[in-house]
Amino acid sequence: MTKPTRSHGLRQIKPSAQPRTLMDESGAKSDPIWRAKVLTLYPEMFPGPLGVSLIGKAREKRLWSLETLDIRSFATDKHRSVDDTPAGGGPGMVLKPDVVAAAIDASLAKVPKDREKWPVLCFSARGRPITQERVARLAACDGATLICGRFEGIDQRVLEARDVEEISVGDAVLTGGEIPAMALIDAVVRLLPGVLGTLESTVEESFSAGLLEHPQYTRPPEWEGRAIPEVLLSGHHAKVAEWRRSQSEATTKERRPDLWRAFSGDTE
C-alpha cells in the first residue's frame, strides 16, 4: 500500500502572533480600524508621544495608522515657499492656498469620498472647541486628515474650497498644530475597539455623561494623614455610585460652570 503524498481532511496551521481579527482569510493584514493623515511642515515630530504606551501598542497592532505629509513637498517654486505676507498688511506670514490645497488633495486620493466618513480638520485658535462627543464621532469615521497650521494661519480660501473644519483644543495660542493633532489622535484612538482594556474605562470618565469625573483614590488607605473617604471602602455599591455622582456634580459646578449649565439646563 502506497503512502498518501499529502494529508487529507486536515488544514495546515501555522502559529502567528497577529490577532485573527486583524487578518483576512488569506492571512494578509487587514486595514487599520482608523487612519490619521497629518499635514505638517515638521513630519519629524511624529509619531512622538503617539509611539508609546497604549496608543503606540495599538499602532503596532494596526488598530490605527499614521501617515505624515510634508506640506513643503507640495510647493512648486524653486525656493519651496509655503507662505507669504498677509493681504492687507500686518505681521507674520500666511500659508498659501495652492500649496495647502495640493497637500489636502493628496491626502484624500485613496480615502472614502463621503466626508462624513473622512473629515478634514484644521487646528486653529478660532476653531470650535473640541468635545468628547466630537471625538466619539471622529472615532466612528474611517479616518481623518489633520492640517497642522503655522505662522498666522492658512489662507481662508482653501479652508472654504476644501470644506475644512476648524477646531481648537483650548483657549491658548500655540506655535503650530502638531501638538493639538497628537492630543486629538490620542483622544480618538483610545476609543477604538481593543485599545483600552474595558468599555467602562471610556464610560466612567470626564465629559462622557456631561460632567467632570469624580476624584479617584487607591491604596494605602491613609497617606500623610489623609484618608480615603469611608464610603469608598464600605463595599456598598449604591452609596459609592451616589457619592461619585455628587462629587462629579460639585466639581463641575465649581470648575466648569459652562458644562454645568448645559447639563442642568440652567439658562441663567
Q: Which of 189, 220, 235 is the last residue of a domain?
A: 189
Q: Are 195 and 63 in contact (CB under 8 A)?
A: yes
Bridge partners of residue 176, in order along the sequence: 150
The answer to whether position 19 is within a domain reads no
The answer to whether position 195 is within a domain reads no
Query: What cell numbers appear for 230 in the block?
Result: 469611608
- For residues 179 and 212, membership in a common domain is answered with no
Is the pTM above the cut of 0.85? no
Burial class (CB in 10 A: 0-12, 13-18, 19+), 254: exposed
pLDDT at position 266 is 73
- CATH number of the domain that 236 lies in? 1.10.1270.20
46-97 pLDDT, tens digit each: 999 999 999 999 999 999 999 999 999 999 999 999 999 999 999 999 999 9
Q: Which of 189, 222, 245 is the last residue of a domain?
A: 189
- Give the mean model confidence (pLDDT) for residues 160-165: 98
Give the position of cell 472615532: 139
Domain containing 252 equals 204-264
203-222 pLDDT, tens digit each: 555 566 789 999 999 999 99
Q: What total of structural domains would you count in the chain?
A: 2
The answer to whether position 119 is within a domain reads yes
- For residues 228 and 182, membership in a common domain is answered with no
Q: Which of 189, 224, 249 is the last residue of a domain?
A: 189
Find, among 187, 171, 185, the residue nearest to 126 by Cα.
171
CA distance 108 to 106: 5
